[in-house]
Structure 1
Amino acid sequence: MSHTDYLTSDQLYRALNVRDLTDPDQGRHAIQALLQSVIDRLQPEWDSSLRYVRSSPVVPVRDNYDRLGYDPGDVTRARRYTRYISPAVMLRSHMSAELPRALEDYAGMSEVDELLVASGLVYRRDAVDRTHVGEPHQVDLWRIRSTPDTDDQDMLSMIGELVEAVLPDAQWRTTDVAHPYTVGGRQIDVRHDGEWLELAECGRIHPEVLRGSGLDPERWSGLALGMGLERALMLRKGIPDIRYLRAEDPRIATQMLTLDPWQHVSLLPAARRDLSVVVDAEEDEETLGDRIRVALGDNADVIESLEVLSRTPHDGLPEAARSRLGILDGQVNLLLRIVLRPIDRTLTSDEANVIRNVIYEAVHEGPVMELI
């Protein structure tokens, strides 16, 4: 990995100054109310003690991957998905990174049945649309017990309480899924507006994770559950656009303080721009979204969506088009549709063109520039 694969100081500063909506010290938010409703169902059900885990999102790569059982060659470790600060340090990509260290505190203890709540921002390279952001919020809910007999029935009970807290009376189902840090992993889907949507994933804590934190799996066991809080809140309230969670418009911001159903707010006009760009064949909507967010900085939230309308490899283009674009073998021609719709103002045509050009220059890798 070259030095260019690491975050710049400006990128790190920006990432660390994003408001954490799960943190009461940074102001009230409906995400906190939703999380509290989950805790209020799980803790009495288990009669467990409660522990909050909150620390810096800057974590050792070892904690984010190695201690959770990720293979050294796992694709998730790649620069395209992970925000590295140095070879050994990164911005956590999931809240599970906080748990191996937290579990170390139980070594030598007895009579433990505790619910650990680790919530906060995680850092991804993600698509740009109404349901994805580059710094989403997650919560990991881990139950640690000084007994080896935590079983699938305990997990199903946890799932039932979670769903009832997030979406009361919703239908739910589970499917098998593999995590390196759990056994018996399950994906939890809920039925909402006639379709099945993923809500969370869980499993029993893997014996090797326990052992790596100094806990004998013959004496300890537990459950590990992770949930994306934006998705959960948007389902609960019926919020149509993830950007609303941080909106300052009073018509929206006041609705982000409670779990009351979303009340429609009139949308401002959209500006649409279609771009033809040349990029490396390995680029996808996630990596393009990340490049665009970095380029736009504070203006990134003006983008409502980015859609790849077509993807044509070098060899699939007519010779005239290859010549016009200056495309090389190993590159592709993408037709992108950008929808610009700020939440709190209307863009002029000139402003939309400036943003269009910034996006174009951020993603286009061909020698021929088509700016407007």
Structure 2
Amino acid sequence: MTSDYLTPNQIHDALNVRDLSDPAQGQHAMQLILDDVVTALTEMWEIPAREHRTSALTSVDDNYDRLGYSPDAVTRDRRYSRYVSPTVMLRSHTTAVIPQILADLTHAERSQALNAADRDTLHVVPGLVYRRDAIDRTHVGEPHQVDLWRIARRAPLGADDLQQLAATVVEAVLPGATWRAVPSRHPYTVAGLQIDVLAEGQWLELAECGIADPAVLQRRQLNPGRWTGLALGMGLDRALMLRKRITDIRVLRSDDPRVAEQLRDLAPWRPVSTLPPIRRDLSVVVDEGSDEETIGDAVRTALGSDVDALESVEVLSWTRYASLPVAARERLALQPDQANALLRITLRPLSTTMTDAEANAVRDAVYRAVHVGPVLELIGSR
């Protein structure tokens, strides 16, 4: 359902998605969340911040190898990441910018151009990241992320500093929230933590953090005997949704004036649409290795901007070739390396009504996007 490498048109479209975290691309509440976090950290530590905004095109080395990802890490799989070529990709996380930041510090130190601010700085790396992901109320293919790395040429930063970092970020995003930090492994940190917040009776992940792995510094020739660091990565979409109590991620990009006006501040969200959902179930033939992420990516690619009408694409069941009755295999013309998936699509445009004919047209477009069998079951022409 997905090719190995992006086409020129896909690259163009991806690079032209609006970055809601960037003031240069228009005002948005996401920028207020980011400002609150950066201000809280720089005031607490009494250090400067330096923001880095770079192209979303990055080397595979910076996105994975120089951060310590193993060669067989599942995140490298082309089913989940968007590759432009064997060596270039659309970054899957803003952490991909960190190796160049470390290399720049090494160059400044060796050329004796290191100024006072460089010796202890909060490096802020916000922007879009690109993934092949499921379609539901909390996931998109181009989410926003920020990496916050404190890199210092001073006494080692340790566990107490890490807890201070986590507590400050939570308070800046969700004042007064109940939170916890649980151990979590990351390729580029040691003593890694996952930061969860309690929202509506559920623990939800807000961010991940840890002490910068000395090996990551060493790969960029930054001496870990003199340099140390703290690292935190946070999804800005989720942070904003939690702060404003938004339950549907599509709201963040809505151009409905009633919605856009509310996305200029951090006041609680006031729902503006009560349109009923339209659901369609469809039985499709898929490659056996497919999952919700690859299906979601295929649907996004096929529908383009029309994907905004989709609230979710759920996989209700998977049935492998060997488990399907012979009659069903024959009806679907199913092959041994394929499976039968039952999908449920939920359509609920944020601000417009949808007719049955329009819903059926979207249903058929989703069907054509994911179905790989020779037998088509379309309903739009009925």
Shorter-chain TM-score range: over 0.9
Q: Is the 8 A contact 1:127 1:306 kept in 2?
A: yes
| Superposed CA offset, 1:139-161 (max 9, x none) | 00000000241001000000000
- Aligned pair 1:87/2:94, yes or no? no
Q: Which amino acid aligns with 1:145?
A: A
Alpha-carbon offset, residue 267 of structure 1: 2.2
CA distance in 2, matches of 1:350, 1:328: 32
Q: Is the 8 A contact 1:60 1:90 kept in 2?
A: yes
- Which residue does the alignment assign to 1:176? 183
- Aligned pair 1:324/2:323, yes or no? no
Query: Where does structure 1 differ by over 3 angstroms across 4 or more consecutive aligned residues?
Result: none
- Which residue does the alignment assign to 1:357? 364
Q: Which amino acid aligns with 2:78?
A: R
More divergent stretch after superposition (258-267 vs 37-46): 258-267
Give unpaired runs (5+ residues) of structure 1: none
- Which residue does the alignment assign to 2:158? 151
**Residue 273 of structure 2: which of 266, 288, 297 is its match?**
266
**Residue 161 of structure 1: which of 149, 159, 168 is its match?**
168
| Superposed CA offset, 1:70-98 (max 9, x none) | 11121111100110001110000000000
CA distance in 2, matches of 1:329, 1:56: 43
Q: Is the 8 A contact 2:4 2:83 kept in 1?
A: yes
Q: Is the 8 A contact 1:127 1:286 kept in 2?
A: yes
Q: Which amino acid aligns with 2:39?
A: D
- Which residue does the alignment assign to 1:284? 291
Give unpaired runs (5+ residues) of structure 2: none
- Which residue does the alignment assign to 2:45? 46
- Which residue does the alignment assign to 1:200? 207
CA distance in 2, matches of 1:13, 1:110: 38
Q: Is the 8 A contact 1:120 1:139 kept in 2?
A: yes
RMSD: 1.2
CA distance in 1, matches of 2:3, 2:164: 47
Q: Is the 8 A contact 2:273 2:351 kept in 1?
A: no
Q: Which amino acid aligns with 1:47?
A: E
Q: Is the 8 A contact 2:52 2:126 kept in 1?
A: yes
Residues 208-357 of structure 1: matches in 2 within 5 Å?
208-357=215-364
CA distance in 1, matches of 2:376, 2:273: 37
Q: Is the 8 A contact 1:190 1:196 kept in 2?
A: yes
Q: Is the 8 A contact 1:176 1:186 kept in 2?
A: yes
Q: Which amino acid aligns with 2:199?
A: H
Identity of aligned residues (%): 57
Alpha-carbon offset, residue 208 of structure 1: 1.3
Q: Which amino acid aligns with 2:316?
A: L
Q: Which amino acid aligns with 1:63?
A: D
Q: Is the 8 A contact 1:268 1:343 kept in 2?
A: yes
- Which residue does the alignment assign to 1:369? 376
Q: Which amino acid aligns with 1:333?
A: N
TM-score (norm 1): 0.97
| Superposed CA offset, 1:94-151 (max 9, x none) | 0000011012222213751100100000000101000000000000000000024100
Alignment size in residue pairs? 370
Which secondary structure state, in structure 1, belongs to the residue aligned with residue 305 of structure 2? helix
More divergent stretch after superposition (107-116 vs 28-37): 107-116
CA distance in 1, matches of 2:329, 2:138: 35
Which secondary structure state, in structure 2, belongs to the residue aligned with residue 11 of structure 1? helix
CA distance in 1, matches of 2:69, 2:295: 25
